[in-house]
Amino acid sequence: MTERIAIVTGAARGIGAATARRLAADGMAVAVLDLDEEDCKGTVDEIAGAGGRALAVGADVSNTGQVAAAVDRVAAELGEPTVLVNNAGVIRDNLLFKMSDNDWDTVLNVHLRGAFLMTRATQKYMVDQHYGRIVNLSSSSALGNRGQVNYSAAKSGMQGFTKTLAIELGKFGITANSVAPGFIVTDMTASTAARVGMDFEDFQKAAASQIPVQRVGQPGDVANAISFFASEAAGFVSGQVLYVAGGPLC
């Protein structure tokens, strides 16, 4: 088996960290990329402790120069990347009439511009090897969510971005798919609970009561779905959006 090299963005914590650990367990060498290289070391140490190979990389995915340098560094120090998980994300929730230009730009820049820059910088290695797996994180909020006009636009955009990548890159042996989580227990949902003034445990219970499987999701639930799309076995699955939300969404 060829050892694939994967890059997971926003992998210092939450869904990204769980995904990095999962892809390493699947046999990949993993670049753990996040804003601060120091913050990536926990995930890298966990992977190394389990016998895997990982590299901590600090970069802002919305910055063209930092992205180019980060991807080149991965290629030089870990190997040429053919698996990319665009997971880095932020929220800046507010109702439309109160949303600032900066809150709109920050969210669109990290999710959409970040995924664009990372994918453009990485695709050349995939094309060279005639093999690639791209997984983009969308969200159930792509279907619309009060207070998230910026985030839902970005996460809906991730789905169109994914489908176009699938069309353009398919002839190079590259697939692109999107995973759209529902409520997952991470710092992101904890910060939402804090913003609306709810205890995080109560917030989770309220969310779980609305979900058909009657529980909230864990980062590992999302990593399991990403693992499939990132695998060799998923070569005939491209341009899809998979909701990982404990119930039907479309």
Tell which positions 180-199 bind ligand NAP, by CB under 6 A. 181, 183-184, 186-189
Contact call for residues 244 and 212 (beta carbons, < 8 A) = no
**Axis-axis angle for helices 114-129, 64-77 (nearest 10):** 30
Q: Which is nearer to ligand NAP, 16 or 157 (CB)?
A: 16
Task: Give min distance, CB of 62 to ligand NAP, in A.
Answer: 5
Q: Sheet holding 132-137: strands in order across?
A: 54-58, 29-34, 5-9, 83-86, 132-137, 174-181, 241-244
In the shown chain, the binding pattern of residues 146 to 185 toward ligand NAP, with x for contact by CB under 6 A and - for none, equals -----------------------------------x-xx-
- Nearest-angstrom CA–CA distance, 21 and 17: 6
Sign of the Cα pseudo-torsion (137, 140, 143, 145, in order)? negative
Q: Which is nearer to ligand NAP, 36 or 232 (CB)?
A: 36
**By CB under 6 A, residue 118 contacts ligand NAP:** no
* List 7, 10, 57, 174, residue binding ligand NAP (CB under 6 A): 10
**By CB under 6 A, residue 16 contacts ligand NAP:** yes
**By CB under 6 A, residue 238 contacts ligand NAP:** no
* C-alpha pair distances (Å), 55 with each of 29, 73, 183, 216: 8, 10, 29, 31
Q: Which stretch binds ligand NAP (CB under 6 A): 14-22, 75-83, 202-210, 232-240?
A: 14-22
243 is annotated as an active-site residue: no
Task: Give min distance, CB of 172 to ligand NAP, in A.
Answer: 25
**Tokens 């069309």 label which residue?**
167
Task: Give min distance, CB of 34 to ligand NAP, in A.
Answer: 5
* C-alpha pair distances (Å), 209 with each of 22, 63, 134: 28, 40, 33
Contact call for residues 172 and 127 (beta carbons, < 8 A) = yes
Q: Which stretch binds ligand NAP (CB under 6 A): 41-49, 71-79, 85-93, 121-129?
A: 85-93
Task: Give min distance, CB of 56 to ligand NAP, in A.
Answer: 12
Q: Which stretch binds ligand NAP (CB under 6 A): 10-18, 42-50, 120-128, 161-169?
A: 10-18
Which residues belong to the active site?
151
Residues that bind ligand NAP in the complex, under the rule CB under 6 A: 9-10, 12-16, 34-36, 39, 60-62, 87-90, 110, 114, 137, 139, 181, 183-184, 186-189
